[in-house]
């Protein structure tokens, strides 16, 4: 993409309403634009990041055996009356009345919709297990939205729903998502830690929040430090097999958020020098809730003996739009964002330091064509801005590699490669610079 044709409204100053660094940088880098409290437009750079994150989520959901659907944003209140949640949900639910005076709502979640789909379409235990997910915009009318897209009212969420014949089978479904989540976040360059979460009225040990550590995290978390560097399950993990070993590895050590924290147990179970107390951002939440919706909504299948069995359900959320901010919280420096390759809006920033100079243009155009031919996603700064501004913008938007071409280098057949994360700059021959960038990108596209 040529920057001259792109839409990248970067800001030099930090808008005063932005409190945390990810919000500041997303505004400054031209990723988002606020439309109303907690509601944002996504500008081109932001859309690309959102798409990258969603693609990774999608791949890992598919790998784990979940199947994608797409459910509506606007739901009928009648469904929610069936589950009993229409009255229970409170003011967080945005209620809408259509022209026929029917009660509608902007979905804050989709248990009711998916349960209705399931009960209407599935009759036999032979069709189980099933796990259906969608990546869709949700709306929760938070009392106080804040921190940009981290706590917006409108947000993009992946939500999956599993249906099983028995509680034991549901446990396996839970573990499949558990493993998928470990992989999902690791692929984005994040170290996520599953932490015991409140299971509500169901009880048991089947609810975890996936937390990434960040100073600006909303909740205080406590865990064993080994979990920070825990082994991420491999890509060839057999999701049809027994995952209880992996699950046990990750859940045997202490990890809890503030509201589930047991200080006495923490001190008893974790050696003093292994105790981690930090701030965390919740990027995923999974839980098993049994027959909470399937019972009132009649999601039953016939078992082998011909008897109707109420299905056991679980649901599994990933905050896709929140992740874009969370990744920035974990990957930035004084100059701007530092994207991990797998979620970077572009993989390389090609900088023409003297647009309009025939020789420099020729060299830069050539590199641009070669990068594209190599399948690299490149943002080509072909504008006639001054060098300093170009460097500042590139650092701000945080593309993993900068390939810098100027008249001095062109004269001797050289270009400069800058690694955004390390800051290291190397002057190489054109071909070597090109190879360095291509190798760097391709080797980091898949982290686990």
Partner RNA sequence: CGGAGCGUAGCGCAGCCUGGUAGCGCACUUGCUUCGGGAGCAAGGGGUCGGAGGUUCGAAUCCUCUCGCUCCGACCA
Binding site residues, RNA, CB under 7 A? 10-17, 19, 34, 36-38, 92, 140, 142-147, 149-153, 155, 157, 209, 218-219, 282-285, 317-319, 321-322, 335, 353-354, 385-389, 391-396, 402, 404-410, 416, 418, 425, 427
CA-to-CA distance for 190 and 214, rounded, in angstroms?
Answer: 10
Min dist. Cβ of residue 156 to RNA (A): 8
Residue 282 · residue 218 · CB < 8 Å: yes
CA-to-CA distance for 435 and 394, rounded, in angstroms?
Answer: 20
DSSP string for 148-192: GGGB-SEEEEEEEEEEESSHHHHHHHHHHHHHHHHHHHHHTT--E
Nearest to 93 by CA among 142, 135, 39: 142
Q: 306 φ, ψ to 5°? A: 85, -5
Min dist. Cβ of residue 300 to RNA (A): 27
Min dist. Cβ of residue 416 to RNA (A): 4
Count CB-CB contacts under 10 A for residue 411.
11
- In whole angstroms, how far apart are CA 4 and each of 160, 176, 181, 385? 40, 45, 38, 10
Which is closer to RNA, CB of 21 or CB of 165?
21
Which is closer to RNA, CB of 11 or CB of 248?
11
**CA-based radius of gyration for the chain:** 24
CA-to-CA distance for 263 and 420, rounded, in angstroms?
Answer: 41
Min dist. Cβ of residue 295 to RNA (A): 21
Measured in whole angstroms, how far is the alpha carbon of residue 38 from the centre of its chain?
Answer: 18
Min dist. Cβ of residue 353 to RNA (A): 5
Which is closer to RNA, CB of 263 or CB of 424?
424
Which is closer to RNA, CB of 304 or CB of 356?
356
Which is closer to RNA, CB of 187 or CB of 420?
420
Count CB-CB contacts under 10 A for residue 437.
29
**Cis bond before residue 129 (omega within 30° of 0):** yes
Helix, strand, coil percentages in the chain from 3-state DSSP, rounded to 5: 40, 30, 35
Min dist. Cβ of residue 88 to RNA (A): 12
Min dist. Cβ of residue 358 to RNA (A): 14
- Which class for 448: exposed (0-12), middle (13-18), buried (19 or more C-beta within 10 A)? middle
Min dist. Cβ of residue 391 to RNA (A): 3
CA-to-CA distance for 117 and 104, rounded, in angstroms?
Answer: 18
Min dist. Cβ of residue 100 to RNA (A): 27
Which ranges in 11-143 belong to alpha helices (H)? 21-28, 44-63, 77-83, 85-88, 111-121
CA-to-CA distance for 157 and 107, rounded, in angstroms?
Answer: 11
Residue 80 · residue 89 · CB < 8 Å: yes
Min dist. Cβ of residue 8 to RNA (A): 11
Three-class SS of residue 435? helix
Which is closer to RNA, CB of 251 or CB of 324?
324
Which is closer to RNA, CB of 150 or CB of 309?
150
Min dist. Cβ of residue 399 to RNA (A): 12
DSSP state, 303? -
Which is closer to RNA, CB of 127 or CB of 384?
384
Residue 280 · residue 213 · CB < 8 Å: yes
Paired sense of beta strands 300-302 and 130-139, if any: unpaired
Min dist. Cβ of residue 427 to RNA (A): 7
Q: 325 φ, ψ to 5°? A: -75, -40
Which is closer to RNA, CB of 245 or CB of 423?
423
Which is closer to RNA, CB of 160 or CB of 410?
410
Which is closer to RNA, CB of 59 or CB of 142?
142
Which is closer to RNA, CB of 105 or CB of 128?
105
């Amino acid at each position: 993409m040529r920057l001259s044709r792109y839409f990248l409204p970067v800001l030099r100053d930090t808008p005063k309403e932005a409190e945390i660094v990810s919000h500041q940088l997303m505004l400054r880098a031209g990723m988002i634009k606020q439309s109303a409290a907690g509601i944002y437009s996504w500008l081109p750079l932001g859309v690309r990041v959102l798409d990258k994150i969603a693609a990774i989520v999608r791949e890992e959901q598919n790998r784990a055996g979940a199947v994608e659907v797409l459910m509506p944003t606007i739901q009928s209140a009648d469904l929610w009356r069936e589950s009993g949640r229409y009255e229970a949900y409170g003011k967080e639910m945005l209620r809408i009345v259509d022209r026929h005076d029917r009660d509608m709502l902007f979905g804050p979640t989709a248990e009711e919709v998916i349960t209705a789909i399931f009960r209407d379409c599935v009759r036999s235990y032979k069709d189980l297990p099933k796990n259906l997910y969608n990546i869709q915009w949700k709306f929760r009318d938070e009392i106080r939205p804040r921190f940009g897209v981290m706590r917006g009212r409108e947000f993009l969420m992946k939500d999956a729903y599993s249906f099983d014949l028995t509680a034991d089978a549901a446990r396996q479904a839970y573990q499949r998502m558990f493993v998928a989540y470990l992989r999902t976040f690791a692929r984005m360059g994040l170290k996520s830690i599953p932490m015991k979460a409140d299971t509500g009225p169901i009880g048991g040990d089947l609810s975890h929040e996936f937390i990434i550590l960040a100073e600006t995290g909303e909740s205080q978390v406590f865990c064993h430090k080994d979990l920070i560097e825990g082994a991420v399950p491999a890509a060839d993990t057999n999701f049809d097999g027994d995952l209880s070993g992996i699950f046990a590895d990750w859940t045997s050590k202490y990890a809890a958020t503030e509201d589930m924290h047991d200080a006495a147990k923490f001190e008893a179970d974790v050696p003093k020098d292994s105790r981690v107390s930090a701030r965390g951002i919740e990027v995923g939440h999974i839980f098993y809730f049994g027959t909470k919706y399937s019972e009132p909504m009649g999601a039953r299948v016939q078992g082998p003996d011909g008897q109707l069995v109420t299905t056991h359900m679980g649901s599994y959320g990933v905050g896709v739009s929140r992740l874009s901010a969370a990744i920035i919280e974990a990957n930035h420096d004084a100059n701007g964002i530092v994207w991990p390759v797998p979620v970077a809006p572009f993989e390389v920033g090609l900088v023409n330091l003297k647009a309009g100079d025939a020789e420099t243009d020729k060299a830069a155009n050539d590199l641009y064509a070669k990068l594209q031919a190599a399948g690299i996603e490149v943002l080509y700064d072909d504008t006639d801005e001054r060098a300093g501004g170009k460097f500042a913008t590139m650092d701000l938007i945080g593309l993993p590699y900068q390939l810098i071409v100027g008249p001095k280098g062109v004269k001797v057949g050289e270009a400069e490669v800058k690694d955004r994360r390390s800051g290291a700059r190397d002057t190489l021959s054109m071909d070597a610079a090109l190879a360095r960038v291509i190798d760097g990108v391709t080797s980091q596209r898949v982290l686990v």
